[in-house]
Amino acid sequence: MSELKTKKKGKLIVFSAPSGSGKTTIVRHLLKQKELNLEFSISATSREARSNEVDGKDYYYLSLKEFKTKIKTDAFLEWEEVYRDNFYGTLKTEVERIWAKGKHVIFDIDVSGGLRIKRKFPEETLAVFVKPPDLNELVRRLKERGEESEDKINMRVAKAPAELATAPQFDKIVVNSNLEDALEKAYNLVSDFLNT
């Protein structure tokens, strides 16, 4: 893998979890804490944008062909085919863009991508796994969102046990049974890591 080009490196903060664990809520909270100096890494995807999503804000939307070309040219820090022909990845240029601004990069990505970043940058990365209290609560949260079909929810729930099994490979685990507690623990973990 070719190294990232930016000389001035910040740190990488990875939050990974099964869908419905609350990682996005935690990441959004941390981004509002200006003293942490974080900027969100926008992932690239080959899936279609949802009606409420904006290119360059929610994701960088690429055609399947564009995504595969970028894989061949080593443009990604990490990537994965999450579902058939549904690719997600982190463009190296995205991390370089954020580091060039003198900020630290925060990721909200799947467990495989999170662990790949940790392996490539072990010293610069804090990898945090967000764990739901249990699978029943995970299902309840996914249904409560009201964003996806029953089939899509079932697909996410079917992936959850394998994702939960990766938790010990992360630096830290935050159990999200009480959101206020989870937000405080996540803040303290990130703050401590950035100050070391």
* pTM to 2 decimal places: 0.89
What pLDDT sits at residue 87?
94
Q: Are strands 60-61 and 38-40 parallel, antiparallel or unpaired?
A: unpaired
Q: Which domains does the chain have, with CATH numbers?
A: 12-190 (3.40.50.300)
List C-alpha distances in Å: 98 to 38, 41, 129, 186: 9, 8, 23, 21
Averaged pLDDT score across all residues of the chain? 91
What pLDDT sits at residue 149?
80
Mean pLDDT of 119-126: 95
What pLDDT sits at residue 170?
98
What pLDDT sits at residue 2?
46
Identify which has the larger pLDDT, 196 or 118: 118
What pLDDT sits at residue 3?
62
Minimum mean pLDDT range among 49-53, 58-62, 82-86, 104-108: 82-86
Per-residue model confidence as pLDDT tens digits over 133-184:
888 888 888 888 777 788 888 888 888 899 999 999 999 999 999 999 999 9
Residue 162: both structure tokens together: 């394998």
Q: Residue 10, Cα to own-chain centre: how many angstroms?
A: 17
Minimum mean pLDDT range among 58-67, 93-102, 106-115, 143-152: 143-152
At residue 102 the predicted structure's pLDDT band, cuts being 50, 70 and 90, is very high
Are 45 and 157 contacting, i.e. CB atoms less than 8 angstroms apart?
no
The dihedrals phi and psi of 155, each to the nearest 5 degrees, come to -65, -45
Q: What is the DSSP string of 154-191?
A: HHHHHHHHHHHTTGGGSSEEEE-SSHHHHHHHHHHHHH
Are 152 and 4 contacting, i.e. CB atoms less than 8 angstroms apart?
no
